[in-house]
Amino acid sequence: MILLYFAFRKVNITNLGKELILVSPWATVGLLGYLGLVMILGAWRWSLLALEKVGFSDVMAFAKATYVGSFYSLFFPTAVAGDLLKWTSLTKKYPQVHKLRLAGTALIDRLIGFTAFSLEALIALIIGKSSGYQFPNYIMWLFVGINCGLVVFYCLAYLVNFPVIFEKNKHLSKLSELAELLRSGNKKRLFSCLAISVIAEPAWMVWSYFIAKLFGIPLTLIQIFIFMPVIALILVLPISFAGFGAREQLFLYFFGQLGIPVEKILAMSTFSGVLGIISSLIGGLLLWL
């Protein structure tokens, strides 16, 4: 709430609300549909990890679970929480698949997506700094640390025999099972999932470009590809519910240096958040179907 106050204190809330209300309902539906396609890409990636054979109905079932996970995320300060719970909606449809596999592949799916996203965010940050845009130095070191941490994790997962080391510890043995699930996974499918992530992440960023154009904000695709990965990676941290407050502050900090009016930036940010909530509420409806 404090972050929201500082973000909106210099704008006319009434005018901002009017600008949001004037958005065409068809534009809203179109953007939600586009976001749905991106989520289906992510669901396809997850289904490849969890199932031996994947059909269209399987992808749609995993897409439903992904929506349900986004609904759960509304009640936690980070979207990762939804990933820890979304697999539960698949247990009835796939009773033959062990629960540990569903839960484990949900985490591995998130890890693969996070790996691609972290690398893209670091590349975007380097390109942004070389292009003269302002980024705090500590963010550079944070992103370098995240990518180095991922490299260390993958090395440990593939080189260390965790089941032998943790076999006597009940809680740590669960972690070893997850590492073993990653190591024993189909390498071709793992790389396919990484390739899907490399495609899905930029596709998600284009969604922000469409929203910017909807409010007449002169952002280029290159600027979106530079700033959005950085913003999104920071928002992974548990610093706000549904991103509100933190997202507005980050939008103001990064897009403000481009000379874009505060009102336009907040309209883009708020509308993105509203669409995200609507999409998550769709997951709540699907939870009961």
Look at residue 96 and tell me whether its pLDDT is greater than 80: yes
N- to C-terminal Cα separation, the chain: 34
The answer to whether residues 16 and 267 touch, using CB atoms and an 8 Å cutoff, is yes
Residue 55's pLDDT band (boundaries 50, 70, 90)?
very high
More reliable by pLDDT, 107 or 8: 107
Least confident range of 31-35, 108-112, 121-125, 243-247: 243-247
Please check whether residue 90 is in contact with residue 65, taking contact to mean a CB–CB distance below 8 angstroms: yes
Six-digit token pair at 240? 């706000």
56: burial class by Cβ within 10 Å (0-12, 13-18, 19+)?
exposed
Report the distance separating Cα 215 and Cα 209, nearest Å. Answer: 10
What's the rounded Cα separation, in Å, for the pair 7 and 132? 25
Separation between Cα atoms, residue 189 and residue 48, nearest integer Å: 7
Question: What average pLDDT does this structure show over 109-121?
Answer: 89
Residue 170 clears pLDDT 80, i.e. is over it: no
Tokens representing residue 178 in the block: 């997850």
Q: Are 141 and 162 in contact (CB under 8 A)?
A: no
Tokens 């068809």 found at: 26
Task: Quote the CA–CA distance of 160 and 88 in Å, as a whole number.
Answer: 30
